[in-house]
Amino acid sequence: MAKDIKAPDLLEYRNDFVKEGVVYPLNKVHFLESGLLDKLPISDKKGWPWNMQTDVSVYGNKKNWPKITIVTPSYNQGQYIEETIRAVLLQNYPNLEYIVMDGGSTDNTLEILEKYAPWLSYYESKKDRGQGHAINKGFSLASGEIFGWINSDDLYTEGAFHALAKSFSKQTEVVYGDGLILNEEHNTLVYQKANWVNKRYLFVGGIIMQHSCFWRSRVHLPILEQLYCAVDSELWFRLIPNKKLKHVKFPLGVVRIQPETKTHNEKFIEKWKQDNLIIAELHDFEHTVPYFKYVQSKFYVLEARYVQKLFRYLNFTNTAPHLNKIVLPDRNNKI
């Protein structure tokens, strides 16, 4: 029964880590005034984040940048995870904690994690109970002021952490930005403007780009581990309402469309349906949302579509500079 689903106690997870000898809080990512590019493993690939890094000078002389904690859940994404890791580290952010939780991958993931271990706050490669469990374990060790997670086949854009850290005022609780979509099948990279994040439109799905969303640690909530696909969709129903939100006209993250992506692979269709049924029952939408019957109608879809279209139209952004920095996969060896 959905009503029996409970979020885990992250303090219990942290205590388990401490019993195993993990020292909390974790060490921060080493910061160099010259940046980390020359220190990280060498790559012959071009573009961000291979032979480029965020210019450290953008952080100026400010000493009190808020601490950012990033968690990466991973399982058998060895062909992508190095790019993900580099896109976090090469932000060159002065106050960063980076945690990678791998579910015991059987590909080359562990080899990559070991290669980058000196620059990670913590990593492990152990069997877990799925993506939600990995994310929760990671955040149980988090000590930052700002939280975000990036999946191991996605990545952050150059300068993303500088853009989001500047945007967090004392009152701001959630920052969300625009994003990029890297489609491997069609070998395309497109700019995706953010939607207007409002609890009324969360039922549409895909309103928030998880890879471009960050929140204060004080409002963080655990993932429901029983969900397989809609781990972030359900989280937004609990996290977003009554929070002080801010939109950043900057593509903070890149989502990769590849054959195993849950949102684009037909083998996950039934799991999405199951998750959505659990969410509807768990939150008792039929009784707690006055307009839930309207939500199920085509008129709601049309309303949401045109409201979001207007929001994106008003979001004037120069997209070209961001698109030019990322090299498409089949061009990596041709430049």
Q: What is the mean pLDDT of residues 79-87?
A: 98
Q: What is the DSSP string of 195-248?
A: P---GGGGGGS-SS-GGGEEEEGGG-----TT-SS-HHHHHHHHHSTT--EEEE
Q: Is the pLDDT of residue 248 over 50?
A: yes
Helix boundaries (H) for the chain: 10-19, 81-89, 109-116, 131-140, 160-167, 231-239, 269-282, 285-288, 292-295, 298-314, 320-323
User: Who wins on pLDDT, 266 or 312?
Assistant: 312
Instruction: Report the alpha-carbon distance of residue 52 to residue 50 in Å, rounded.
Output: 6
Q: Lowest-confidence range among 162-166, 231-235, 327-331?
A: 327-331
Give the per-residue pLDDT at 134.
98
Q: Is the pLDDT of residue 335 over 50?
A: no
Q: Name the residue with tokens 């199920």.
A: 296
Residue type, 278: I
Locate 52 and state its tokens.
């480029």
Q: Lowest-confidence range among 4-8, 150-154, 217-221?
A: 4-8
> pLDDT tier at 265 (50, 70, 90 boundaries)?
low
Q: How many degrees, rounded to 5, is the angle at CA 54 between CA 31 and CA 77?
A: 85
Instruction: Report the alpha-carbon distance of residue 181 to residue 304 in Å, rounded.
Output: 21
Q: What is the mean pLDDT of residues 246-275?
A: 82
Residue type, 161: F
Give the per-residue pLDDT at 228.
86
Give the per-residue pLDDT at 331.
45
The percentage of residues in the chain with a pLDDT greater than 90, rounded to a whole number, is: 82
Give the per-residue pLDDT at 330.
63
Give the per-residue pLDDT at 273.
87
Q: Is the pLDDT of residue 333 over 50?
A: no
Those residues with Cβ within 8 angstroms of residue 232's Cβ, 6 or more apart along the chain or in another chain: 208, 210
The percentage of residues in the chain with a pLDDT greater than 70, rounded to a whole number, is: 95
H/E segment holding residue 92? none
Q: Is the pLDDT of residue 179 over 50?
A: yes
Q: What is the mean pLDDT of residues 10-28?
A: 98
Q: What is the average pLDDT value for the chain, to the nearest integer?
A: 93
Q: Is the pLDDT of residue 98 over 50?
A: yes
Q: Lowest-confidence range among 163-167, 180-184, 218-222, 272-276?
A: 272-276
pLDDT tens digits, 142-164: 999 999 999 999 999 999 999 99
Q: How many CB atoms lie within 10 A of CB 48?
A: 23
User: What count of residues does the chain have?
Assistant: 335
Q: How many CA atoms lie within 13 A of 40 on its CB side?
A: 30
Q: What is the mean pLDDT of residues 325-331?
A: 75
pLDDT tens digits, 35-50: 999 999 999 999 999 9
Instruction: Report the alpha-carbon distance of residue 248 to residue 278 in Å, rounded.
Output: 32
Is residue 249 within 8 A of residue 315, CB to CB? The reply is yes
Report yes or no on whether pTM surpasses 0.75.
yes
Is residue 92 within 8 A of residue 63, CB to CB? The reply is no
Q: What is the mean pLDDT of residues 116-140?
A: 97
Q: Name the residue with tokens 């471009």.
A: 212
DSSP letter (8 states) at residue 77: -
1-10, 61-70, 98-107 — most confident range = 98-107
Q: Is the pLDDT of residue 334 over 80?
A: no
Give the per-residue pLDDT at 3.
67
Q: Name the residue with tokens 């083998």.
A: 267
